Structure formats: structure tokens, C-alpha cells
């Protein structure tokens, strides 16, 4: 009877997860060009989703792409003049101000005979994505020897706008930049932050619960292979620096992305490098919570140490949990896959998933932004770059998953916090007795000659409870489960980094 109840519960949960939920994993080439389409931010609207993107069509254009809720492409609006570059900022460069108004930030680049003329660019749109106005910030007359770029925008509590990015005099280090405007883009004040020969750049900004601002950014020193630190600067309400914090280590780390925690503290997402592989860092995902005085509340790391591991954005959710996304290079060759991580308000891992659209060994799958949707799922965007046998051009990539980060109702397990699998695939394993009380056998697999395999058991919360190496000559595995908790377990057999078999078993006594 207990076994029947467990089975019915599993079936019920799968039906609940799949009921009326929309999943998709799509690529978009909205203009049919042979160049590049890259998405960096996404928001939800009353009729679907809007993405901000860069579209290469001779010059770079800023673009807004609209999708239906089922992922169907609706339209694209492109903004540029065909004579200069209109380049969108980093993740978070698209913001919904209200139901009638949207903003993007980036920069406009004009090439000169000696250098470039870069101006910070703020664009305002109505809900049809028609441009209401555009403002340029920076030099308006020659010699154009200082470049301005904008990375991210946020709304302030008084209805204004706060923007971060950087400015750089020709031939000199760059400075982190902070700009406060009203909702019409009129400058109210600005400030910059930098030091000596270090290059500084702001990537994210929030208004803090005490009325000040926190900027997440990056600094590096040209010529120093191990320089590259995530930094956070806290200011008061008029942009005067209150404190500076370097949250990096001895090697090259990633940028710092900030968001406001549900309890009013400051959350930082970045990556911490443990070693270098040539010029490339090998890092873990790192999330840190600070109070408004810069004191560390908690500092936690997640996942494996992975090559070129980059967190690209982080968001705090209404229940206090945290979602962040990025990409990494797990194999050490040109092979990039996207990932998403959800943790609770105390920083405990809930799940960590890996996503791909292309599976060629040298294809690239970049994820830049991920947000929660009104159906409690998540939608993420970025771009893919195909390599043989994958075909096509560099296109926008959007993936819609459920509240557990799964790509379908049977895709993954609740709470999977180990490096996740694309899905339980491969040959179905023979597991008996099932249910098992004290010992079980795993069979029904065929291993490649002279290749060892690894069998792993996960509980229903996604925690790894058992793992063993299987020699190629062993045709059956015996596992003692006498001290395991009763419940449902997933079994995955790996060989050569691929899933060679999978199955499910109930432990019950």
C-alpha cells in the first residue's frame, strides 16, 4: 500500500508540474542576416516577453524583440542610423518603468580618424516599442578624447533613473560611472570612481534600502595576468562614496552583479577563481550578502570549479529566494553551456541546472539574463554560436523552464544541486527488487570496452547519496540501501561524460 501511495504521489506531482505550463528552448534569427544576433536582457509584458539585443547588420543596431507567451516570434524593432554603432549594455540594460514606458541603456560609437567617439545612450519607448526620445551623454564637440558607455539601469524610489557604466579618457584607465536622472533623462548629478592605473567599470546598480546606491563592477590592471576583481561601491543618496569592497581573490575573478535582497540588504553575484589555466580562470559561482555598512552576512559558493565560469545576472525574488544565470566552459575546449542557479534567502542551494540548444563539441550557448515569470517559472535569454555539426549563424537564444528549472515535466529532479544533467537519458536500467528494502541490484547496461563508468544515486531533493565506479567487466552492481531513508531515488550511469543509463527506484521497508 505504501508503494502505491508513493507511485501515485509521483504521478500526481508530474501532472501538476506539466499542467498548462509552457516550455520552450528556441533560437531566433529575426532579420535573417548572416552576421550576429545577441540578446542581453528580457522582461515580461502583458502579452508575452520583450528582449533587448544587438543585431549586426553592417553596423551594430540596438533591437527590441517581442515574443508571445508560447515563444512564438512576433516582431522586431531596430534602432540605429547605419552610420554608427548602437550597442546595448550588459544584462539589466532593459527596464520596464511602468505599463506604458520602457528604457534601454548602452552607447553610441562613431569611429574617428584617431580613436572613437563613444557617448552613453539612454532610450525611452512606449508599449509599442516606438521611440519616445533618446539622450546622449558625453562629449558633444571635438576632440572627442573621452569615451562613455552605459551598462545597466534601474528605477529609484522617487521615480527617477539610476545608471552605471564607465568613462575613459583616451590612453588612460577607465573610471566607474554613476548617473542620476529624472524619468525624462535630464541629468541631476553624476560621479565617478577609480584609482591610479587600475581600470574600473560599473556593470550593475541598485538603490539601497537606506536611500543610497550600490554599484557592482570590475577592476583590472593591464599587464598583470592575475588581476581582475569584482568590486562593490556603496554611495549615499547623492552619489558620494561611503565604502569600497573588493570581493575577489588572488586570481582573475568575474564582474560583480548586485541586486536588492527581499530583507533590504545587498546581494552580490560573481565567480571566485581557485586557479588559472593559462589566461583563463577556473571558478565557482559565488553569492554574497552584505548589509548597508558593507559587513558580510553570508558568503557561499556553488557547483564545481569550472573553466571560464561567468555569472551574468542575479535577481532577488518576492519570497526571498535568489535566481542567477550565466555560462561556463566545462570541457576545456570551445564548448560553452548556460546554467541557472536558485538558492533560498539564506544562500542554501535549491537547484543548479545546465542548458543547451546546440550540442556540437565546439558550439557556444551563452545565457545573459534570467527572470521569474508570472506562472512561477523562469525565462532566460542569450545567444548561441554554432560550430559543425551545428549549422546556421549566431542567433538569439531564449529558454523557458518551470519553477524547478526543468525543461519539461520529466526533465529533472527537485533540488538537484550537483552539476545537473541535460535530462535522464540513455538506456533504461534494470533495478531490482523495486521497491528495495535492504539491497538492490543495477543491471541492463553495456559499457564501452576498457572504459570505466560511474553510477550515482540522487534522492528526491536532488542530493547525491551514493556513488561508485564500475569497471567495464562488471555486468551488475550491488548496492546496500539498508541505512537509506525511505523514498524515491534517481539512478544515473555515466561513461565518458555521457549518460549511459538511468532509472528510478523506491526504497521502502
User: Count of CB atoms within 10 A of residue 252's CB?
Assistant: 21
- Tell me the pLDDT band of 37, cut-offs 50, 70 and 90: very high
What is the β-pairing status of strands 85-88 and 94-98? unpaired
Residue 111 makes CB contacts below 8 A (sequence gap 6+) with 84, 117
**pLDDT tens digits for 315-362?**
999 999 999 999 999 877 778 999 999 999 999 988 899 999 999 889
Average pLDDT over residues 131-148: 94
pLDDT tier at 425 (50, 70, 90 boundaries)?
A: very low
Residue 286: pLDDT above 90?
yes
What is residue 490's predicted lDDT score, i.e. its pLDDT?
86
Would you place residue 444 in the very low, low, confident or very high pLDDT band (cuts 50, 70, 90)? Answer: confident
Q: What is the pLDDT of residue 473?
A: 81
More confident residue, 295 or 467: 295
Burial string for 107-116 (b: 16+ CB within 10 Å, else e) reads bbbeeeeeee
Domain boundary among 305, 340, 374: 305
Domains in the chain, number: 2
Cβ atoms of 506 and 434 closer than 8 Å: yes
Report yes or no on 486 lying in a domain: yes
**Is residue 127 one of the residues assigned to a domain?**
yes
CB atoms within 10 A of CB 83: 9
Residue 46: all three cell numbers together? 502583458
- Same domain? 243 vs 94: yes
The domain boundary, picked from 272, 305, 338, lies at 305
In a domain, 28, yes or no: no
Specify if 114 maps to a domain: yes
Q: Please tell me the predicted confidence (pLDDT) of residue 161.
A: 98
Contact between residue 67 and residue 49 where contact means Cβ atoms under 8 Å apart: yes
Q: Name the grid cell of 158.
A: 522617487
* Confidence tier at 411 by pLDDT (50, 70, 90): low
Residue 497: the pLDDT is 63
pLDDT tens-digit profile of 373-387? 999 999 999 999 999
Question: What CATH code is carried by the domain that includes residue 191?
Answer: 2.120.10.10
- What mean pLDDT comes out for the span 413-442? 69
pLDDT score of 410: 65
The yes-or-no verdict on residue 420 having pLDDT over 90 is no
Query: How far apart, in whole angstroms, are the C-alpha atoms of residue 79 and residue 102?
Result: 14
Tens of pLDDT, residues 157-182: 999 999 999 999 988 999 999 999 99
Query: 392-406 pLDDT, tens per residue?
Result: 999 999 999 998 898
Whether 428 and 360 have beta carbons less than 8 Å apart is answered as no
pLDDT of residue 30: 92
Please indicate whether residue 18 or residue 294 has the higher confidence score (pLDDT).
Answer: 294
Q: Assign residue 434 the CATH number of its domain.
A: 2.60.40.3080
Spatial separation of the C-alpha atoms in residues 463 and 411, rounded to whole Å: 16
On the question of pLDDT at 9 being above 60, the answer is no
The reply to whether 485 falls in a domain is yes
- Does 364 have pLDDT greater than 50? yes
pLDDT of residue 147: 95
Tell me: pLDDT of 7 over 70. no
Mean pLDDT over each residue of the chain, to the nearest integer:
90
Instruction: Report d(CA 470, CA 477) in Å as an integer.
Output: 8
Q: Are 240 and 218 in contact (CB under 8 A)?
A: no
291 domain residue, yes or no: yes
Q: Which residues touch 338 (CB under 8 Å, ≥6 apart)?
A: 325, 326, 327, 354, 355, 356, 365, 366, 367, 380, 382, 397, 399
Residues 284 and 432 in one domain: no
Higher per-residue pLDDT: 27 or 35: 27
**What's the domain range around 294?**
89-305
pLDDT of 449 reads 66
- Residue ending a domain, among 305, 328, 346, is 305
| Cβ within 8 Å of residue 162, ≥6 positions away | 153, 154, 155, 156, 178, 179, 180, 205, 206, 207, 213
Q: In sequence order, what DSSP letters do the residues of 315-336 get, joined into one string?
A: EE-TTS-EEEEEEE-TTSSS-B
Contacts of 427 (CB under 8 A, 6+ apart): 444, 445, 446, 500, 501, 502
- Whether residue 180 lies inside any domain: the answer is yes
Longest CA–CA separation in the chain, Å: 82
- Are 119 and 264 within one domain? yes
Show the CA angle centred on residue 174, arms to residues 173 and 180, nearest 5°.
155
How many Å apart are CA 401 and CA 409, to the nearest integer? 10
Element (H, E) at 465: strand 464-470
What is the dihedral sign for C-alpha 229, 233, 239, 242? negative
Given a cut of 70, whether residue 115 has pLDDT beyond it is: yes
Q: What are the tens digits of pLDDT across the range 244-254? A: 999 999 999 99
Place of cell 545597466: 152
- Please enumerate in sequence order all residues whose Cβ is within 8 A of that of 13, keeping only pairs 6 or more positions apart, or say none: none
> Do 297 and 438 sit in the same domain of this protein?
no
User: Does the pLDDT of residue 14 top 60, yes or no?
Assistant: no
Edge-to-edge strands of the sheet including 59-67?
37-45, 48-57, 59-67, 73-79
- 10 Å Cβ neighbour count for 198? 17
Displacement of CA 144 from its chain's centroid (Å): 35
Q: Would you say residue 491 lies in a domain? A: yes
Q: State residue 293's pLDDT score.
A: 98
Amino acid 302: pLDDT? 94
Amino acid at each position: 500500500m505504501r508503494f502505491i501511495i508513493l507511485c501515485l504521489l509521483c504521478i500526481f506531482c508530474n501532472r501538476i508540474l506539466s499542467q498548462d505550463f509552457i516550455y520552450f528552448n528556441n533560437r531566433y534569427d529575426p532579420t535573417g542576416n548572416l552576421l550576429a544576433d545577441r540578446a542581453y536582457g528580457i522582461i515580461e509584458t502583458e502579452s508575452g516577453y520583450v528582449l533587448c539585443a544587438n543585431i549586426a547588420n553592417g553596423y551594430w543596431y540596438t533591437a527590441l524583440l517581442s515574443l508571445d507567451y508560447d515563444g512564438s516570434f512576433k516582431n522586431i524593432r531596430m534602432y540605429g542610423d547605419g552610420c554608427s554603432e548602437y550597442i546595448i549594455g550588459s544584462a539589466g540594460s532593459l527596464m520596464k518603468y511602468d505599463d506604458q514606458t520602457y528604457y534601454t541603456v548602452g552607447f553610441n560609437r562613431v569611429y574617428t580618424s584617431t580613436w572613437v567617439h563613444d557617448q552613453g545612450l539612454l532610450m525611452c519607448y512606449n508599449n509599442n516599442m516606438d521611440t519616445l526620445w533618446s539622450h546622449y551623454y558625453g562629449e558633444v564637440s571635438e576632440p572627442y578624447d573621452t569615451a562613455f558607455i552605459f551598462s545597466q539601469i534601474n528605477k529609484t524610489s522617487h521615480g527617477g533613473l539610476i545608471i552605471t557604466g564607465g568613462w575613459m579618457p583616451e590612453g588612460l584607465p577607465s573610471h566607474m560611472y554613476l548617473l542620476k536622472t529624472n524619468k525624462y533623462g535630464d541629468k541631476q548629478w553624476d560621479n565617478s570612481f577609480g584609482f591610479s592605473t587600475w581600470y574600473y567599470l560599473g556593470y550593475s546598480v541598485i538603490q539601497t534600502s537606506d536611500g543610497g546606491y550600490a554599484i557592482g563592477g570590475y577592476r583590472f590592471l593591464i599587464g598583470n595576468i592575475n588581476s581582475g576583481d569584482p568590486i562593490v561601491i556603496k554611495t549615499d543618496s547623492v552619489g558620494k562614496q561611503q565604502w569600497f569592497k573588493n570581493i575577489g581573490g588572488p586570481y582573475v575573478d568575474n564582474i560583480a552583479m548586485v541586486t536588492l535582497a527581499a530583507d533590504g540588504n545587498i546581494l552580490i553575484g560573481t565567480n571566485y577563481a581557485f586557479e588559472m589555466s593559462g589566461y583563463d580562470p577556473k571558478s565557482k559561482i559565488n553569492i554574497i550578502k552584505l548589509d548597508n555598512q558593507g559587513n558580510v552576512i553570508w558568503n557561499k559558493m556553488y557547483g564545481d570549479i569550472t573553466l571560464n565560469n561567468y555569472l551574468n545576472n542575479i535577481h532577488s525574488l518576492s519570497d526571498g529566494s535568489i535566481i542567477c544565470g550565466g555560462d561556463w566552459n566545462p570541457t576545456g575546449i570551445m564548448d560553452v553551456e548556460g546554467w541557472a542557479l536558485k538558492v533560498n534567502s539564506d544562500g542554501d542551494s535549491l537547484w543548479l541546472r545546465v542548458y543547451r540548444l546546440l550540442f556540437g563539441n565546439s558550439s557556444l550557448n551563452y545565457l545573459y539574463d534570467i527572470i521569474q515569470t508570472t506562472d512561477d517559472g523562469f525565462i532566460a535569454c542569450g545567444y548561441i554560436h554554432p560550430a559543425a555539426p551545428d549549422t546556421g549563424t549566431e542567433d538569439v537564444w531564449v529558454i523557458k523552464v518551470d519553477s524547478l528549472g526543468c525543461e519539461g515535466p520529466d526533465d529533472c529532479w527537485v533540488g538537484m544541486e550537483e552539476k545537473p544533467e541535460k535530462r535522464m537519458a540513455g538506456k533504461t536500467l534494470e533495478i531490482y527488487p523495486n521497491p528495495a528494502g535492504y539491497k538492490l541490484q543495477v543491471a541492463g547496461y553495456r559499457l564501452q570496452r576498457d572504459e570505466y563508468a560511474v553510477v550515482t544515486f540522487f534522492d528526491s531533493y536532488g542530493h547525491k547519496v551514493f556513488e561508485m565506479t564500475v569497471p567495464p567487466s562488471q555486468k551488475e552492481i550491488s548496492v546496500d540501501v539498508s541505512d537509506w531513508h525511505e523514498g524515491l531515488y534517481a539512478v544515473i550511469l555515466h561513461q565518458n561524460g555521457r549518460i549511459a543509463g538511468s532509472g528510478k527506484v523506491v526504497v521502502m521497508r
